[in-house]
C-alpha cells in the first residue's frame, strides 16, 4: 500500500517539479527578451553609450552572408520538391496546371518562404549563437564581462538580435524569390507549364506581403532570443555547451512553428476568406 502511495506522490512531485521548471524557464526567457529590448535603448538610444565597435556589422556578416549559400541550396531544393508534388496532385485531380504558379506564389509570400527560411536559420544561426555564447559561459567569459561592468545581454545579445532581425527579413525575401524561381523552373521542365503562365503575380495582394514580412520579423526576433537564452543557461563544460546548442535548435525551431501558427490563425480570423 505504501508503495502505491509513494509512487503517486513521486509522480505528483515530478510533474510539479517539471511545471515549476517550465514556468521558471519561461520567466527567464521573458527577462532575456525584456533585457535585450532595454539593451537596445542602452546601447543605441542614448548618446555616448559604450558600443563594441563593429559588432553589429560583424554579426550581420556571420548571420546573413555566411548563411547565404545554405539558404539558397536548401530553399531551392525544397521549392522544387513542393511544386513537383503540387503539380502532380493538380494534374491528377484538376488536370489544369495554369493555376499552380499563382496559388504557389500566394502561399510562398504569406507563409512558406519566410517560415522555411526561418526554420533553416534556426538550425544554423540558432546553433551558432548558442554554441558561441555557451562556450563563453562555461569558460567564464560571461562572468568576466559582468565583472568589468558590462551587461552580458547588452554586449552579446543586442548586436545578434538586431543583426538577426535585419538579416532574417533579407534572407526571407531572398528565400521567397529562390523558391518561386526554382518552382517555376521545375514546373516548366517537368510539367511543361509555360513560365509566362507560372510567373503571374496578379493574385498577391499587399496583405500577403505584410503577413509574410510580419512573420519574418517575428522569427528574426525569436531565434536569437531563444538561442541566446539557451546559451546563457549552459552549465558544466563541453557537455553543457552541447546541451545548450541542442536546446537552442529545438527551441527556436519550435518557436518558429508556433509563431507561424499563431500569426496564420490570427490573420485568418481577421480577414477570413479574403486572405
Partner 1 sequence: MLGENAITNIGSRAVAVSRELGGITILFAQILRALVPPRLDTRELVKNLHKMGNRSVPIVALTAFFTGGLMVVQAAPFVQRLQATSLAGWAAGYAVLREVGPILIALMFSGRVGANNTAELGTMTVTEQLDGLRALAIDPIRYLIVPRVVSMMVMLVCLTVIGDLIALLGAMLVAKAVLDIEFGIMYASFVENLAPEDFLHGVYKSLAFGLSIAVTSCYFGVTVRGGAVGVGRAVNAAVVAAAVSVMLLDFFLTYLNV
Contact set with partner 1 (CB under 8 A): 70, 73-74, 77-78, 80-82, 84-85, 88-89, 93, 103, 107, 111, 119-120, 123-124, 127-128, 130-132, 134-135, 138-139, 237-243, 245-246, 249-250, 253-254, 257-258, 260-261, 264-265, 268-269, 272-275
Instruction: Kindly tell me which of 59 and 135 has the beta carbon lying closer to partner 1.
Output: 135
Cell numbers at 98, concatenated? 495554369
**Gyration radius of the chain over CA positions:** 22
Q: Which residues contact 198 (CB under 8 A, 6 or more apart)?
A: 100, 101, 183, 184, 187, 188
Instruction: Kindly tell me which of 194 and 237 has the beta carbon lying closer to partner 1.
Output: 237
Instruction: Kindly tell me which of 70 and 188 has the beta carbon lying closer to partner 1.
Output: 70
Please give the full DSSP string across 236-274, using - where no structure is assigned.
SSHHHHHHHHHHHHHHHHHHHHHHHHHHHHHHHHHHGGG
Instruction: Kindly tell me which of 41 and 77 has the beta carbon lying closer to partner 1.
Output: 77
Instruction: Kindly tell me which of 39 and 135 has the beta carbon lying closer to partner 1.
Output: 135
Cα–Cα distance measured from residue 244 to residue 133, given in angstroms and rounded to the nearest whole number: 9
Judge contact between 135 and 244, C-beta under 8 A: no
Cα–Cα distance measured from residue 115 to residue 259, given in angstroms and rounded to the nearest whole number: 9
Min dist. Cβ of residue 151 to partner 1 (A): 22
Judge contact between 69 and 77, C-beta under 8 A: no
Instruction: Kindly tell me which of 40 and 72 has the beta carbon lying closer to partner 1.
Output: 72
b/e 192-209 (16+ beta carbons within 10 angstroms → b): ebeeebbbeeeebeeebe
Min dist. Cβ of residue 149 to partner 1 (A): 25
Give which of 264, 230, 237 is closest to 122, Cα–Cα: 230
Min dist. Cβ of residue 44 to partner 1 (A): 28
Min dist. Cβ of residue 271 to partner 1 (A): 8
Min dist. Cβ of residue 119 to partner 1 (A): 6
Min dist. Cβ of residue 48 to partner 1 (A): 34
Amino acid at each position: 500500500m505504501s508503495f502505491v502511495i509513494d509512487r503517486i506522490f513521486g509522480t505528483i512531485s515530478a510533474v510539479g517539479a517539471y511545471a515549476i521548471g517550465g514556468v521558471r524557464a519561461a520567466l527567464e526567457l521573458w527577462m532575456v527578451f525584456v533585457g535585450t529590448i532595454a539593451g537596445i535603448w542602452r546601447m543605441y538610444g542614448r548618446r555616448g553609450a559604450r558600443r563594441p565597435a563593429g559588432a553589429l556589422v560583424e554579426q550581420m556578416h556571420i548571420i546573413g552572408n555566411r548563411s547565404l549559400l545554405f539558404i539558397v541550396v536548401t530553399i531551392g531544393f525544397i521549392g522544387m520538391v513542393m511544386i513537383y508534388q503540387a503539380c502532380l496532385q493538380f494534374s491528377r485531380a484538376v488536370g489544369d496546371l495554369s493555376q499552380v504558379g499563382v496559388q504557389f506564389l500566394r502561399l510562398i509570400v504569406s507563409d512558406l518562404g519566410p517560415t522555411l527560411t526561418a526554420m533553416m536559420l534556426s538550425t544554423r544561426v540558432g546553433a551558432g549563437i548558442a554554441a558561441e555564447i555557451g562556450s563563453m559561459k562555461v569558460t567564464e567569459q560571461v562572468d568576466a564581462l559582468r565583472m568589468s561592468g558590462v551587461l552580458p545581454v547588452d554586449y552579446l545579445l543586442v548586436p545578434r538580435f538586431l543583426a538577426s532581425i535585419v538579416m532574417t527579413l533579407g534572407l526571407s525575401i531572398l528565400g521567397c524569390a529562390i523558391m518561386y524561381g526554382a518552382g517555376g523552373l521545375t514546373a516548366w521542365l517537368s510539367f511543361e507549364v509555360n513560365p509566362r503562365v507560372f510567373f503571374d503575380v496578379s493574385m498577391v495582394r499587399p496583405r500577403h506581403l505584410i503577413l509574410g514580412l510580419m512573420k519574418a520579423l517575428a522569427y528574426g526576433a525569436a531565434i536569437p532570443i531563444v538561442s541566446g537564452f539557451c546559451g546563457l543557461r549552459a552549465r558544466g563544460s563541453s557537455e553543457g555547451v552541447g546541451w545548450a546548442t541542442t536546446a537552442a535548435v529545438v527551441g527556436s525551431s519550435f518557436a518558429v512553428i508556433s509563431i507561424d501558427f499563431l500569426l496564420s490563425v490570427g490573420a485568418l480570423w481577421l480577414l477570413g476568406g479574403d486572405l
